[in-house]
Amino acid sequence: MKSSLLSQSVKFFILNTIYSVKKVKDSLLKMRKLKVDAFEKVNAPIKLGTVFLKNRIILSTMTRCRAVCNQPNEHMAEYYKQRSGAGLIITEGTSPSPNGLGYSRIPGIYTKKQINAWENTTSGVHKDGSKIFVKLMHTGRLSHSLNMPEGSQIIAPSAVKATGKIWTDYRQMQDFPMPKEMTLEDIRHTKIEYVTAARNALKVGFDGVELNAANGYLLEQFLSPYSNIRNDIYGGSIENRCRFVIEVLTAISEEIGQGKTGIRLSPYGIAGDMKHYPEIDATYQYLSEQLNNLEISFLHIVDHLAMGEPMVPMALMKQIRNNFKNTIILSGGYDIERAENDIKCGLADLVAFGRPFINNPNIVEKLKNSWPLSQDLKIKLFYTAAKIEYTKYPV
C-alpha cells in the first residue's frame, strides 16, 4: 500500500515538475517572442540613399574627445569597429577646417595626415558589414583659442558671445570668447571647406556625410535670430537665416551625391546657448521643405528630452515628417520598444542610439538575444583622453 502511494506520489511529482517546467518554458518563449517582435522592424535591412544597411539601428554621433592633437588614431578605429553591429555608424563631430576646432581633442579631416588616418576606421567598420558616415561639425562661436591651432580664428554669423564656459586642456574651464562676425568672403571660404572635407571623406572610405546643423554649432547659429543678427542676405527673415545651411548642403550633395548626404537638426535644443524664439516652428517647417526639395538621403532629428532639455512638440515632428519624403532618423533617449513603435507607425525610418552604445559595444547582439544591458556607465570619463572607459568595455 505504502509502495503504491509512494509510486503515485512520485508520478504526481514528476508530472507536476514536467508541467511546471513546460509552463516556465512557455512563459520564456512568450517573453522571447515579445522581444523578437519588438526587434522585428528595427532589425530589418533598409536602403539609405545609395547604401544598404543590415539593420535600422544607428550608432549616434557622440563627442568622445580621444583625438589627441586633433588626429584620428588607432583607439578611435578600435572603438568604432567594436560597435559595427549597427547598420550605420555616424562618427563624432569632425571639423572641416582649423577654424572649426572648438573642443579639446576633436578630430579633423582637412590635413593629409588626418585624412589618411581615417582609413583605419572605415576599413575596420566595413569588415563587419556596417556602413559609416562622417559628421562634419564646425563649432563656430563654441570654441576657444587654446583649443585651436595658430593662425585659426573663432568665427560666427554675428559677433554674439555665447554664455557659459568651455574646457581647455591648458587652462581648464574658460569663458566662451567673443567671435568674429563672418564676412561674405568668410562664408564663401567656409562653404568650400565643407565641400573639400566631404570629398576627403569619400576618398578614405566613408559611405557618406552627415552635416551637423544641431546642438548650437555654426550652422544652427545661422538659424537662430539670437545668434544671427545680420542684416544682409544671411540674416533677418527665416529664408535668409536658413540660406547658409541650404547652400552648404547643396554644395556637398552636388560634390558627393544626394544619396550620400544627410543633415542633423535639433529643434527646441538649448545646447550651446540656443534660446527659443517665436519663429522656431516656422523655421524648421520651412527648412524641412527646402531639404526635401534637395532630395538628400536623410534628415536626422535629435530630441534631448532625456537629457533634461525641452521636448520637440509632436505636432512639429509630424509636420517635418510630412514635409520630408526621404529617410527620417530619430534619436534621443530611445529604448528598443519605443524605436520599434516609432518605425512601425511611420514617424521614423531608422533610430539612433547614443549612450547605451558606450558601455554596450555589442548592443545589437544583446538586443537580438534579450541579454541584459550593462548599466556601468562612468559619465565623468566620457571626454577624457584615456583609453579606459572607451574601448575597454566588455564585448
- How far apart CA 133 and CA 144 sit, in angstroms, is 27
Number of residues in the chain: 395
Closest CA to 306 of 33, 76, 60: 60
Band (pLDDT 50/70/90 cuts) for residue 38 is low
| Mean pLDDT, range 269-281, rounded to an integer | 95
Q: What is the pLDDT of residue 2?
A: 37
Q: Which of 25-39, 216-230, 298-312 is least confident? A: 25-39
Is 60 exceeded by the pLDDT of residue 5? no
Cβ atoms 332, 305 nearer than 8 A: yes
| Beta carbons within 8 Å of 262's beta carbon, 6+ residues apart | 49, 133, 208, 209, 210, 211, 296, 297, 298, 299, 300, 327, 329
Task: Tell me how far apart the alpha carbons of residues 172 and 83 are, in angstroms, rounded to a whole number.
Answer: 31
The residues with which 89 forms a beta bridge, in sequence order, are 59, 132
| Res 110 pLDDT > 70 | yes
Contact criterion met (CB below 8 Å) for 318 and 293? no
Q: What is the pLDDT of residues 129-174, one digit of tens each?
A: 999 999 999 999 999 999 999 999 999 999 999 999 999 999 999 9
| pLDDT, mean of residues 30-36 | 42
- Which active-site residues does the annotation give? 217
Contact 210, 201 (CB under 8 A): no
Answer with the residue of higher pLDDT: 38 or 278. Answer: 278
Q: Which residues contact 222 (CB under 8 A, 6 or more apart)?
A: 157, 228, 234, 241, 242, 243, 244, 245
pTM of the model: 0.88
pLDDT tens, position by position, 357-374: 999 999 999 988 888 888
Over 90: is that where the pLDDT of 195 sits?
Answer: yes
332: amino acid identity, one letter: G
Confidence grade of residue 39 (pLDDT, cut at 50, 70, 90)? confident
Q: What is the DSSP string of 346-389?
A: TS-SEEEE-THHHH-TTHHHHHHHTPPPP----GGGTT-S-STT
The confidence band for 205, taking pLDDT boundaries of 50, 70 and 90, is very high
Mean residue pLDDT of the chain comes to: 89
Ordered alpha helix ranges (H), the chain = 2-38, 74-82, 112-127, 184-203, 218-223, 238-256, 280-294, 314-323, 336-344, 356-359, 363-369
Q: Which CATH class is domain 32-381?
A: alpha beta
Residue 347 has pLDDT above 90, yes or no: yes
